[in-house]
Amino acid sequence: MKFFVDTADVDAIRELNDLGMVDGVTTNPSLILKSGRDIIEVTKEICGIVSGPVSAEVVALTADEMIAEGRKLAEIAPNIAVKVPLTWDGLKTCKVLSGEGHMVNVTLCFSANQALLAAKAGATFISPFIGRLDDINLDGLDLIADIRTIYDNYGFETQILAASIRTANHVTQCALIGADVMTAPPSVIKALAGHVLTDKGLDQFMKDWAKTGQKIL
């Protein structure tokens, strides 16, 4: 499973990229706001750090405006994936931009039917939001499984990009189900390394080592 990092924080992206933990980046208007930087400027810098897809989101609501914005964003770098919402206008935009050879990430997916439409429109990525479904007492992981089954049934090449990842368990289950990609904040990716028994074992090793009175360096 590929790891995308969901942030516009270039320092965090660079740190994870140096460790080989980043296959791509996803951004959205909220993350751009948090970064406090110009969207074109920060997106261009991110594209220079990572070689994989960098999702940059349109903010228009009509197809004609989305297409124009998407073309503008795609000019930033060859690894831009234009991010569009899963609306009828977003699907129209996806069809046009994908037809022009641009990567398109269709976001805010909350049903298998929406994912089916996105695949038929030529989406490179479909982004189902796990955490937001969990928030309304639905199992977001069930959606990932449903999309996986449908895409496999018909040979769709659209990649499932599991989004709104909030826990380490989300990552594990998405990998078991067969999501192609997961995107998560840096804090969640780093949390994957944590385990209470690892901490407990290391603490015991260090105590025993101190008792030996030895040094390696």
Q: Is 73 in contact with 43 (CB distance < 8 Å)? A: yes
pLDDT digits (tens, 9 = 90+) for 183-213: 999 999 999 999 999 999 999 999 999 999 9
**Structure confidence at residue 195 (pLDDT):** 95
pLDDT digits (tens, 9 = 90+) for 57-111: 999 999 999 999 999 999 999 999 999 999 999 999 999 999 999 999 999 999 9
**Structure confidence at residue 14 (pLDDT):** 97
For the segment 133-160, the average pLDDT, to the nearest whole number, is: 97
**Structure confidence at residue 78 (pLDDT):** 97
83 is known as an active-site residue: yes
**Structure confidence at residue 87 (pLDDT):** 98
- From the list 209, 195, 54, the residue with the least C-alpha distance to 124 is 54
Domains of the chain: 2-212 (3.20.20.70)
pTM equals 0.94
For the segment 40-63, the average pLDDT, to the nearest whole number, is: 96
Catalytic annotation, pick one of 83, 92, 211, 215: 83
From start to end of the chain, where are the E strands? Answer: 2-6, 24-26, 54-57, 80-85, 103-109, 125-128, 159-162, 181-184
Q: Is 60 in contact with 83 (CB distance < 8 Å)? A: no
Q: Collapsing DSSP states into helix, strand and coil, what is residue 216? A: coil
